Amino acid sequence: MPPIDDHPQRYALVNELHARPFPAIESPCHVAYLAIKEPLNAANRDRARDRAHLLTLLDRHGAGHPPPEATHWSGAIGRHTLKWESHTEFVTYLAFAPGVGSRAFDPAEAEVFPADWLGEAPGRRLCSVLIRVEHMPSDPAEVTRRIEAWFVPESLTASVVIDGQAIVAGDFRIDPAGHMRFAVFVQPGVGARRIGRVVQRLCEVETYRAMSMLGLKRARDLSARLNALDPQLTDLVGAMQGDGASAEGTLNALLRIAGELESLAVAFSFRAGATAAYEAIVNERIGAMREARYGGRQTFAEFMQRRYDPAMRTVKSAERRLYQMIDRTARAAELLRTRVDVERTKENQALLASMDRRADLQLRLQRTVEGLSVVAISYYAVNLASYLAYPVSEPLGLSKGGLTALLTLPVVLAVWLLIRRIRQAMH
């Protein structure tokens, strides 16, 4: 029996399930994370530049290169382990090394990404995160003392995660060195893969939070433009109720607003869709950590609900308002088109009535002309008939006047019948 052929994408699709494995991170260690986004849209992004930038960093450490079409790579660069991933709109670099310094969140820990190398990046820095992973202190109060010393109390979030095996804390603020900071305390015996999942999820929460909030500025700009267009649309709809405004002029103004709204929808639709997708990932990653409250402090989910969700609702509200205005404009334009059609129908009916009156007048004039033509033709016909009958007038004892009088009525009657027959034949 011959072997069955595999689908050409079978292995590629299965390998995609394992394309981005979680890093294996031992405690204690320090982690530096970086996300770079090109200012261009995803469709115009040059992935070759991202790859070239990665190779520059790898060549500094004599590390191997990923395959040409790879979207992820992991390997050692010096004493650090680097995990690189290429996403739709951005690239990420996660570097970690064993051990922690005496100074928490030392900016020197981010020097695994050299300043000159960062200056040549094909994009802008979207996220820069330092994560400190260390063993859980034997004294629970020591955890509280450290996180209160490291983070801003007003925005401090702390949670017990992965079934009580770890505590994560952060304040979602950027320090003077330009980094966001998170602390992870893990119980002895927690596996490296579990620690790697926690670290990866923290990085993803921050990255996708930043990516989703890119839509907030777009939404505010869109709302400002909609605030300018809304009164114009309202005035145009109100003008439709009066008789003074020109229907065609109002329709042209409505079409101009409709065109601008469609342009706004094209420009905003991609970012709004991306924002919704990134928001879903943020909530999914936070849910995957299985948070429990620590020391009465707010959890990551509660922080996002209070500080992050309103921004997402703003984006959704702007998008909803945009499409509502598009629908309003379309309905108003349709009503106005109906009004224009009705007015044109009335004008056409008036024109047809005027044409009927003109045709009736022409018919009357034609009949008048026909009556006059009977007289004129009869006059000439009587004269001709008289000339023909003059030779027989003397034998009959008739004068010329009497003969002309005798011929007038028959000739007029004959001419009238002839013209009537011609008119009937034409009609």
Q: What is the pLDDT along the chain (427 residues), one digit of tens a residue?
A: 467 888 888 877 787 777 667 889 999 999 999 999 987 666 567 888 999 999 999 999 999 999 888 888 999 999 999 999 999 899 999 999 999 988 999 999 999 999 999 999 998 999 999 999 999 998 889 999 999 999 999 999 999 998 889 999 999 999 999 999 999 999 998 999 999 999 999 999 999 999 999 999 999 999 999 999 999 888 888 877 766 666 777 778 888 898 999 999 998 999 999 999 999 999 999 999 999 999 889 999 999 999 899 999 999 999 999 999 999 888 888 887 777 777 778 888 888 888 888 888 887 777 776 666 777 777 777 777 777 777 766 676 667 677 677 777 777 787 777 777 777 776 6
DSSP symbols for 140-203: HHHHHHHHHHHS-GGG-EEEEETTTTEEEEEEEEE-TTS-EEEEEEE-TT--HHHHHHHHHHHH
User: Beta strand 90-98 with 124-135: parallel, antiparallel or unpaired?
Assistant: unpaired
What distance in Å separates the CA atoms of residue 241 and residue 234, rounded to the nearest whole number? 12
Query: Among positive and negative, which fits the CA dihedral 58, 63, 68, 69?
Result: negative
CB 222 within 8 A of CB 308: no
**pLDDT at 8 (0 to 100):** 84
Question: Pick from 207, 233, 186: which is nearest to 327 by CA?
Answer: 233
Q: What is the pLDDT of residue 311?
A: 94
Distance CA(224)–CA(221), nearest Å, equals: 5
In this structure, are residues 309 and 216 in contact, taking their beta carbons and an 8 Å threshold?
no
Cα distance between residue 226 and residue 231, in whole Å? 9
Query: Residue 210 and residue 199: Cα distance in Å, rounded?
Result: 17
The DSSP bridge partners found for residue 34 are 93, 128
How high is the pLDDT of residue 132?
Answer: 96
DSSP annotation of 296 reads T
How far apart are the C-alpha atoms of 105 and 30, rounded to whole Å? Answer: 8
Tokens 């990420």 identify what position? 92
Question: Residue 403: its pLDDT value, please?
Answer: 67
pLDDT score, position 344: 79
- Show the tokens assigned to 17: 């399930």
